[in-house]
Amino acid sequence: MLEIYDCILREGEQAHGASFNAESRIELCRKLDEFGIDYIELGWPMASKEIFESFSNCLKIVKNAKIVAFGSTSIKPLAEDDENLNSIVNCKAKYACIFGKSSISHVEKQLKITPEENLKKIFESVKFLKEKGLIVFYDAEHYFDAFKKNKEFSNENSLSLQIGTKENVKPIWSNKDYAIQTIIAAINGGAERIILCDTNGGLLPDEAEKIVRETGQILKSSGFQARFGVHFHNDCGLALANTLSCLPYISQVQGTINGIGERIGNLDFSEFLPVYIKKLGNNLNIDLKKLKKINEDGFRLAGINIPEKRTFVGDLAFSHKAGVHIDAHAKGASYEHVNPYDFGNKRNIIMNTLGGRNSIVGIAEKFGYKLDKNNEETKEKIKRLFEELRKYENEGYKSGVYEAEQFLLIEKYFGSNDLIFKINAWEIRSEVVNRNETSYFKVECRLNEKIIEGEFEVDGGPVDAAFKTLKKILSKEYPEIENLKLIDFHVEIARRRAEESSVRTMITFQDGEEFTVVGVDKNILESAIEALEKGFRYYLIKLNNCCEDGNELG
């Protein structure tokens, strides 16, 4: 069975803006293990005390995955004196993946050693780890680039391996020959996997297939056996295509759960796994229904914004905006190549002004409303709803994909719920002393026929203070609201107008279900208060509806 090797905790952290603290590193490791990843690369043990200590913590919690320590071939003349290799041994991982140079130019220009010295380093580094009881994988860095170069070296400064030659006679070697020799050195040292790396990300699929195939043939004809893996970067957007082209010849695929990595990134497992399992009909010990969640966890825990447009797992992957598409789905036809629920995703009908009455009727039906699009009163309500929706679109809400936002608009024009919740006035004060923040929030709200007020101070930010104040005053009427959690808060530019730019605030709540609401304003606090007001209104309406039906919320 193909081995899935995830390196987001090392390679992914090299993406711009990405970083993992101790807690997020352990949490993501646990989630990758539960998801079914075979090998989890935690990083360079010598890089920091935090990373080194993460090994002992993660080794305790994983149930099925194998923890891998990453590093390089030795820097010191002797492998046993090398801090990098000894940190791999001391972190107690049973698996190691070390990289070495396949390209003569990198050996001579970056390492500033002779090609012979590099071969010796590869052999002795792998051998040292093997003798310490580790299972070793060898990453052949820049292998594809080196293999493709046919330039020959025969001058005094070039490779001078004395294999099969007379003494003092320099053979003519090419980059390709040398690249092969580097992986033979790793095999002789005891490497159990040879990972061929497209480190620059410039490879094409036909090149990838040809080089992996030829490498296997050359080794076999020379009496060597190797199990290959591949490690593709995505600088040309071809990491997936390159990987698929190599499948007949490999045992292991390296990538990251959401594709983040150096520069453009690496092979994205949220693309590869659905294609490999669903499209190609292969089996893996992977729970694909957790794919969307763990893909987003990877972004969230790395501190990176979650893109909307992601194949298979993105919020827009199975979202439909055009009226023709929406009408087709309503009538049982499909514009989808796979079932979104297979990947933990879902189908979304985007509420928008281009979808026509069919889109509103379809969305309303999702919430239990049966609308007759030919009814004159319904037509008029849909017209007014579209006017309000167009205003939201022009202001940059981008809220049409969120079910809570859809529900609030449908409820406003077609609902019968009498619950009213509105924030009439609010005041925020925030103070920072010695880097310790304290925030105060005071609010006046209308809840049905009552005016309710409250205030609260917290050690933290103003949104935290506002959320807790609203929970405090509303819990007197609705004790269940104590269960409501704010789990995500995200701010981005809605409309760029220099100093007059507006911001879009998206807040995600949880109580059984997760739901997201949106606020937009030039004032970041006003946009946050709007989103909080919508979130509590949605929750209270759903709570009322559930109580009337005798069901629990969520």
**Architecture of the domain delimited by 3-302:** Alpha-Beta Barrel (3.20)
Helix (H) or strand (E) holding 436: strand 436-447
- Residue in the block written with tokens 């020379």: 222
Residue 41 contacts residue 6 (beta carbons within 8 Å): yes
Helix (H) or strand (E) holding 429: strand 421-433
19: DSSP letter: -
Q: What is the secondary structure of 156-168 as a DSSP string?
A: TTS----SSS-TT
Q: For the chain, what are the domain ranges?
A: 3-302, 319-414, 421-549
Three-class SS of residue 499? strand
* Residue 253: CA count within 13 A, CB half-sphere: 28
pLDDT tens, position by position, for the chain (554 residues)? 899 999 999 999 999 999 999 999 999 999 999 999 999 999 999 999 999 999 999 999 999 999 999 999 999 999 999 999 999 999 999 999 999 999 998 998 999 999 999 999 999 999 999 999 999 999 999 999 999 976 544 434 444 443 333 344 444 567 899 999 999 999 999 999 999 999 999 999 999 999 999 999 999 999 999 999 999 999 999 999 999 999 999 999 999 999 999 999 999 999 999 999 999 999 999 999 999 999 999 999 999 989 989 999 998 888 776 666 666 666 666 788 999 999 999 887 788 887 778 788 888 988 989 999 899 999 999 999 999 999 999 999 988 889 999 999 999 999 876 788 999 999 999 999 999 999 999 999 999 989 999 999 999 999 999 999 999 999 999 999 999 999 999 999 999 998 889 999 999 999 888 999 999 999 999 999 999 999 999 999 988 876 555 554 44
Residues in Cβ contact with 142 at an 8 Å cutoff, skipping those fewer than 6 apart: 101, 102, 103, 106, 197, 199, 200
- Structure tokens, 508: 């995600």
Identical fold between 3-302 and 421-549? no
Sign of CA dihedral 115, 121, 124, 126: negative
Q: How far apart are CA 509 and CA 471, in angstroms?
A: 12
Kind of pairing between the strands at 513-521 and 502-511: antiparallel
Residue 491 contacts residue 524 (beta carbons within 8 Å): yes
Inter-CA distances, 180 with 96, 173, 215, 264, 428, Å:
21, 11, 7, 28, 66
- Residue in the block written with tokens 């089996």: 283
**Architecture of the domain delimited by 421-549:** 2-Layer Sandwich (3.30)
* Residue 140: CA count within 13 A, CB half-sphere: 32
Q: How far is CA 204 from the centre of its chain?
A: 24
Q: How far is CA 256 from the centre of its chain?
A: 8
196-235 as b/e: b if 16+ CB within 10 A: bbbbebebebebbbbbbeebbebbeeeeeebbbbbbbbbb
366: DSSP letter: H
- Structure tokens, 345: 């995703």
Q: How far apart are CA 516 and CA 403, in angstroms?
A: 8
Q: How far apart are CA 490 and CA 418, in angstroms?
A: 31
Kind of pairing between the strands at 502-511 and 95-101: unpaired
- Structure tokens, 492: 């981005």
Strand positions, DSSP E, 512-549: 513-521
- Residue in the block written with tokens 């997760």: 514
Residue 408 contacts residue 534 (beta carbons within 8 Å): yes
Q: How far apart are CA 526 and CA 529, in angstroms?
A: 5
Nearest to 144 by CA among 191, 102, 100: 102
pTM of the model: 0.84
